[in-house]
Amino acid sequence: MTYYSQTMLIAELSSMGITDSNVLNAITQVPRDHFMSAALANRAYENTALPIACEQTISQPFIVALMTQAVMTAKPNKVLEIGTGSGYQAAILSLLVEQVVSIERIKTLYETAKEYLAKQGYDNIICHYGDGFKGYPQGAPYDGILVTAASEKIPDALCQQLAEGGKLIIPVGGYGSQRLLEITREGENFHQKLLDHVIFVPLLPGTSTD
């Protein structure tokens, strides 16, 4: 059995078109094995999605890198993440931007990620328990919004929370026909660009944002 190292993963991501050295460096600095169960830790650096608690997943490293690289083209200072999950994506973003606001609808995941990220010193991440469809208008506008679950349609609330020139990175569509889109705001116009075809867990409504 082959055990993949972080070095092997970075080489693979580079070969797949991840060219932003800052993104690659951030992925190198965040230990993916710390964001999953000990039983799966030996698979942490495989380029594949893996299960976490509450029937959710930690995204494939290539997709994490692709979404991060896309949102960074807006040169963001503040990014809103919809779907904290394990906290892995938020941790990577925290090394690249001044502030990350992250929303999670599943209370167990929210509590676990919030506690772990705080313990590890990711002090520029603000976690909230709430409904990702609504975003977090109290903190808007955001230079970037990154959604880690698939929506049947693009939530208007998220578009309206984008700053001018900001980018929304979101998987859209039903299971088996999802498209990862980069949406750039220009006034009240929102320009779409296809990044990839993907498979994500569905974006579901949660409670009111705290």
Q: What is the pLDDT of residue 1?
A: 47
Bond before 141 cis per omega within 30 degrees = yes
With respect to residue 114, please indicate whether it lies within any of the assigned structural domains. yes
Q: Is the dihedral of CA 101, 187, 153, 73 positive or negative?
A: negative
Complete DSSP assignment for 44-106: TTSSS-EE-GGG-EEPPHHHHHHHHHHHHTT--SEEEEE--TTSHHHHHHHTTSSEEEEEESS
161 touches 80 (CB < 8 A): yes
Catalytic annotation, residues: 59
With respect to residue 166, please indicate whether it lies within any of the assigned structural domains. yes
Give residue-wise pLDDT tens across range 141-178.
999 999 999 999 999 999 999 999 999 999 999 888 89
With respect to residue 2, please indicate whether it lies within any of the assigned structural domains. no
Q: CATH code at 145? A: 3.40.50.150
Count of structural domains, the chain? 1
With respect to residue 105, please indicate whether it lies within any of the assigned structural domains. yes
Give residue-wise pLDDT tens across range 129-145.
999 999 999 999 999 99
With respect to residue 22, please indicate whether it lies within any of the assigned structural domains. no
pTM over the 0.85 mark? yes
With respect to residue 3, please indicate whether it lies within any of the assigned structural domains. no
Q: What is the pLDDT of residue 58?
A: 95
Q: Which of 18-22, 164-168, 200-204 bottoms out in mean pLDDT, i.e. has the lowest?
A: 200-204
Please give the structure tokens belonging to residue 130: 């709430």
Q: Where in the sequence is the domain holding 158, given as residue range(s)?
A: 49-198
CA atoms within 13 A on the CB side of 116: 19
DSSP character at residue 178:
E
Q: What is the pLDDT of residue 176?
A: 80
With respect to residue 207, please indicate whether it lies within any of the assigned structural domains. no
With respect to residue 174, please indicate whether it lies within any of the assigned structural domains. yes
